[in-house]
Chain A
Amino acid sequence: MYEGIVQELIDELGRLPGIGPKSAQRIAFHILQTESFDVSRLASVLVEVREKVRFCEICGNVTQEVTCSICRDPRRDATSICVVEEAKDVVAIERTREFKGFYHVLGGAISPIDGIGPDNLRIRQLMTRLADNTVQEVIIATDPNLEGEATATYLTRLLSSLEIKVTRLASGLPVGGDLEYADEVTLGRAFEGRRTVS
């Protein structure tokens, strides 16, 4: 145990995800000992991020304004919406530069065992966005794990009543990997979603 405020700093750092007691101690001493480390800047950014950042009223992405920069961009294609679980997924898809439409962040996936049902996600807001018939395609890009697939199944069933094309991201072999190391579930999916090349 360290004295007073040093221990308090270690305890507070240790509450962050992925930081154990040893890492917390190392970061605390880095802050204490490194003169070039600008503490006031870190402190002001932390305060600012809590005060200014909120969720986009349209898509649920993180933003500093009422709506996010993607929803404000008039050059984007209004006929397609990509549904993702978290704001982090928006960034991942944006990095591909493949998708030019809008996003909708659900805020998680359906997981009854964790007490998360469809009502706890931003599904109602999605349905409202689809009501004006502008959107022609909904791309479901939830995680390819069990909860993500279940959410996709639920959304597909819900959207089948509307006259909108519903697509799901393909899953299969990772680029640069070896076929022999692929597990049977992934390989099976890759077979299922194979495409014609000639």
Chain B
Amino acid sequence: MKVVIIKYNAGNIQSVLFALERIGVKAIVTDNAEEINTADKVIFPGVGEASSAMQYLKERKLDQVIISLQQPVLGICLGMQLLCSHSEEADTTCLNVFEKVKVRKFIAPNNELKIPQIGWNTISHLRSNLFNNIPENSFCYFVHGYYAEETLEKISTTNYIQTYSSALQHNNFYGVQFHPEKSAKVGEQLLKNFLAL
């Protein structure tokens, strides 16, 4: 099985590579369209800023490559947000795979609720093969200052300040706001589930 991690100007690509290695999968990190198109599974990771990431993808025409993929695609964190329609982060038009889903900025009512959300929170209302053998209310590791609003395409929800979509699915495209590569055994199970799709 050929697993490709899309290389772009976002952080934490190495962590995804190491996490796959831990479950015995050797992935290729590349920005080559041919390599991405011929993969069995594509992972679109990322920690970073939305507008500069979108600009980078457009300059290399990776935006067109990503939206036309037919095989299972997993967006992680910023990767998931870029698959939405629009992000409030620098007013960025995104890839619109998760049509009409808007990414909004957390607004904290006081200093006791910190932004970004950093740490372990639960995922609920799980509704996808991506969550096979993962119990309701499992803990996952989150680091983010923006969130995808609740939508029909949600396959899990999380609550921080308000309830939001912590995972989304549309056809072959999956997105998770948390970091499976850093979410201990739950995250490993999710990566295995994705590779088994």
Q: Do A and B come from one complex?
A: no
Chain A residues within 8 Å of B, Cβ to Cβ: none
